[in-house]
Structure 1
Amino acid sequence: MSDETNSTLLYGLEQRIPPLPAFFSALQHVLAGLVGIITPPLIIGATLGLGEWMPWLISMSLLASGIGTFLQSSRVWGVGAGMICMQGTSFAFLGVAIAGGMWVKGQGGTAQDVMAMLFGVNFVAALVPIIISRFIEPLKRIFTPIITGSVIALIGISLIKVSVNNWCGGVQAKDFGSMSNIGLGAGTLAAIVLLSCAKNRWLRLSSVVVGIALGCIAAALVGKFHFSGTGDTWFRLPALFPFGFQFNSAIFLPVALVSLVCILEAVGDLTANCLISHQPIDNSAFRSRLKGGILADGICCMIAAMLGAFPNTTFAQNNGVIQMTGVASRFVGRYIGVILILLGVFPPFGEILRQIPLPVLGGATMVMFGCVVAAGIRIITQNPLTRRDMLIVGLAFGFGMGVEAVPAFLAHFPPIIANLFGSAATCGGFVAIVLNLIIPQEKTVIANDARSNDDRAESL
């Protein structure tokens, strides 16, 4: 790989990185993804009345995410993408998990019955990405740059909505959108941008950590940061299927369908990761990474179910961190995995990070999520867009952003449809796939493809 190609990276994909900068880089990934990992179990637990088990759900979510992230970066026996692919609890399963839990409660089930059923179903549903990973080559027509780029851009746009809500103080905040909240987020964002533009590699490496630290100091000075202790439990020993194992086919079907949809999001995230890490996205090596990444997704979901955590997926947040810090070394992924595992088995550490003020996190993640959108656009525009491509991208963005902006659009559809296509990425991605399959290729494109095939044949 040329020096020019690597110029924006401080550490390339296969470059070893010293422990100290590796730790700082890993910590920034953890800070970017921490809220995303612990929020789904908080929402599901609160809705289903699992308050007693909430600390367990949070700890096991962090532990499962750490194991999955370590697998993804290590790529042992073809398992994993061999990149910094941070695993985290998926938001896509919120609707089906809550619906399944409510059904169990309606049958007279206890909180433990609810979790035994949900984790049993999730364990079996994890077979979906594992099986699909074996058929990546035949499915390559679906995973075109137009489709994957649209999906990753829509994921980034959805994440920006989360970032803005946090920046304003959180949806439940009484002072939502106050000038103090806006100021804290803006100050954090400005610090990260300035540090990430610095020529000094240490400043760039630690831009997110330093920016968040400065934001926390500012929050404490204005009375927005109150440290409330670390809890009573210092160590949490994991157990396999701690609530037992139950299964119901009626609950399984929607969970399996959501697992199928999540594969499309994972492909978008992995494609963006390859692009940002300066890896090809159109050859057999790329498809091998996709195969390993989706396989690791499935295995990680199985591990999560066994530990008592909800399904995991590849996060898009870390793509923004890679772009900001210039560190693509896959060995950082192992550090991320170890940190998350420690946060899972030693709850006080995670509790400290969880208390970072939301406006500070919102300002910090705005930078990263914006980079995710930019990565998606870069994938879409790597080749000149034809009229057909413009139509596919336009409708994918139209439908995706439409259901995100007006959720009531799907209000009168069956609940399973609303759950599957209620997010920008899944709805827009589905529209892009359908249009790509039914709209015929333009003649000039077909002719160019044939000419390039002839040229390759002559060169052989």
Structure 2
Amino acid sequence: MSEKTSGSNVSIDNIYKLDGRVPVAKAIPFGLQHVMAMFVANLAPILLVCGASKLLGSDAGKIGGVELARIMQSAMFIAGLGTLVQLYPVWKIGSRLPVVMGVSFTFVQALGYIGTNFNYQTAIGAIIVGGCVEGCLGLTYKYWKKIVSPIVSACVVTTIGFSLLAVGAKSFGGGYVDDFGAPKYMLVGLITLVSCIAFSSLAKGFWKQLNVMFGLIVGYIISLIFGIVDFSHFTGTINTVGFIALPRVLPYKPIFNPGAILSVVLIFLVSAAETIGDTTAVVAGGLDRDITEKEVSGSLACDGFLSAVSGVFGCMPITSFSQNVGLIAMTKVVNRFTIMFGALILILAGIFPPVGAFFSTLPEPVLGGCTIVMFGTIVVSGMDMIGKCGFTQRNTIIAALSISIGIGFTQTLGIFDYFPKVIGDIFAGNSVAGVFVLSMLLNFVLPKNMDVKKLVGMR
């Protein structure tokens, strides 16, 4: 039976509907579940890029200490702001879909190179320009939408799922630790995974959709028992930033270098492909329908312009988070009001650093145990999308060739060594980029009415 408040349309059943109100006490844990699923991954790109970048005008040269803590604070704030705009658009910016935003891994290699060989301020300048370019592409999507056909989107979604499987496995085994794969990490990951599955199987009604939250709590408790929860960052953040701190606007003066801007703009095009794939997967997996032109346009505009805003706050670009796409596909919880609480939690974490610091203590094996199933659901959603496109000779060639080359080449070391460096930077570590470009090219050059007889010479 629906749980409703008298004289209103507030109902727990609305968690499966895009619009409608859900009781606040029930909405908060669902929103929190989305935050916990992506929190550490939202901060990881910052650590990687800042660890390699030098800061112009800094005595220490490298970014660390208070500066790093403040950039991570901005990352939480901008992720929440971006998610809020996706849920409740501003003008044409935002998709009005349950898309959760976070700092993008796609830019790590390019921004790390710029931060090392130039400086972090040059990276910020490139982010601001590149974000505006993608945002404008989003607003003009109707003029170039035919380039990205349904089979192209299906290939991209499938590849996003495949590319995340290794991420889930890496977390399951302990993440970036010296004793990766140690029994304690594997056991924590397994207990977390089993907890998620057991709760989903045994819980009744809407409660079963909180299986990831339950797994995270159980896994965290087991991690405390095993002594693998690291509280050093929690105490360090409080000591350096304090309990309350507003994100800084233009903490670093942007430097606009043409070469850096060009390379980052190219990566923004790849990020746009991932956003199209993620947004399409949210609609297909959560709402069981095709995505609209307006939704893609708003999603891309938010992805781009909010990335530019992120640069203004001294932070890296943000994009749609595939972890949360998998969560939506698995739970079918798509209510915007519910996920809004996740956005608000992220914003609060950006204003109250200890909140974010606590979430960052979630151990990698716990995240791996929860996300490994979610990532698999993205693969299944992509396959389902390919099936809906139809297994014609043309679609089969597009999917088979783009996925095999796009994924296969990223797993083969040295295959891009004789290509220009910019090609290697874009494609060597990003299978989604290769699949996107190849599937688009094949979709453009292969005949629309292609069939078996034409392929074999009309035998």
Task: Structure 1: state its 5+ residue gaps.
Answer: 1-7, 105-113, 446-460
**How far 1:378 moved relative to its partner?**
1.4
Given candidates 48, 55, 64, the residue that maps to 1:51 is: 64
Residue 226 of structure 1: how far off its partner (Å) = 4.9
2:260 to 243, 246, 251: 251
The one of 345, 356, 367 aligned to 1:339: 345
Counterpart amino acid of residue 15 in structure 1: G
Q: Where does residue 100 of structure 2 map in the other structure?
A: 86
Contact 2:30 2:339 in 1 (8 A): no
Q: Residue 438 of structure 2 aligns with which residue?
A: 431
Q: Is 1:97 the counterpart of 2:124 in the alignment?
A: no
- Pairing partner for 1:315 from 313, 316, 321: 321
Hey, what's the Cα distance between the residues in 2 that align with 1:198 and 1:404? 40
Does residue 23 (structure 1) correspond to residue 28 (structure 2)? The answer is: yes
Q: Is 1:277 the equivalent of 2:277?
A: no
In structure 1, what residue type is equivalent to 2:365? P
Q: Is the 8 A contact 2:128 2:308 kept in 1?
A: yes
How far is the alpha carbon of 1:335 from its aligned partner? 1.3
Compared CA separation, residues 362 and 241, structure 1 to 2 (3 A): same
Counterpart amino acid of residue 14 in structure 1: D
Tell me, what secondary structure is at the counterpart of 1:88?
A: strand
Using the TM superposition, give the Cα deviation of residue 41 of structure 1 relative to its aligned residue in structure 2, in angstroms. 0.8
Q: Please give the residue correspondences for 1:188-227 in structure 2 after superposition, counting only pairs within 5 Å.
A: 188-198=192-202, 200-227=204-231
Q: 1:335-360: per-residue Cα shift (whole Å, max 9, x none)? A: 12111111112111111111112111
Partner deviation per Cα, 1:177-203 (whole Å, 9 max, x = no partner): 122211211111111122223451343
Residue 72 of structure 1 contacts residue 293 of structure 1 at CA under 8 Å; is this kept in 2?
Answer: yes
The one-character-per-residue Cα deviations of 1:321-343 (angstroms, maximum 9, x if unpaired) are 11232311122232121111111
Q: CA deviation at 1:33?
A: 1.2
* Contact 2:285 2:332 (C-alpha < 8 Å) held by counterparts: no
Whether 1:240 and 2:249 are equivalent positions in the alignment is yes
Change (3 A) 1:404 1:332: farther
Q: How many residues align?
A: 425
Equivalent in the alignment of 1:458? none
Question: Which of 135, 147, 152 lines up with 2:140 in the alignment?
Answer: 135
In the TM superposition, residue 135 of structure 1 has moved relative to its aligned partner by 2.6
Q: Residue 205 of structure 1: CA displacement? A: 3.1
How big is each residue's C-alpha offset from its partner over 1:90-117, in whole Å with a ceiling of 9 and x where there is no partner? 111112212222232xxxxxxxxx3332
Tell me the alpha carbon deviations over residues 353-383 of structure 1, each in whole angstroms, 9 at most, x when there is no partner.
Answer: 1111211111111011111111111111113
* 8 Å CA contact 1:220, 1:226 repeated in 2: no
Does the CA-based 8 Å contact 2:212-2:370 persist in structure 1?
yes
Question: 1-side partners of 2:364 and 2:40: how far apart?
Answer: 9
Quote the Cα distance in structure 2 between the aligned partners of 1:126 and 1:436. Answer: 27
Greater alpha carbon shift after TM alignment, 9-18 vs 259-268: 9-18
Task: State which drifts further: 269-278 or 197-206.
Answer: 197-206
Q: Which of 74, 87, 91 is the matching residue for 1:77?
A: 91
> What is residue 144 of structure 1 aligned with on the other side?
149
Counterpart-to-counterpart distance in 1, 2:406 and 2:33 = 29
Is 2:447 the counterpart of 1:440?
yes
Paired AA for residue 98 in structure 1? G
CA distance 1:28–1:411, shift in 2 (3 Å): farther
Structure 1 counterpart of 2:264, which letter?
Answer: V
CA separation in 2, counterparts of 1:37 and 1:176? Answer: 21
CA contact (8 A) 2:40 2:362 kept: no
Q: CA deviation at 1:408?
A: 2.5
State percent identity of aligned pairs.
29
Match of 1:288 in 2: 294
Which residues of structure 2 form unaligned runs of 5+? 1-12, 54-61, 453-459
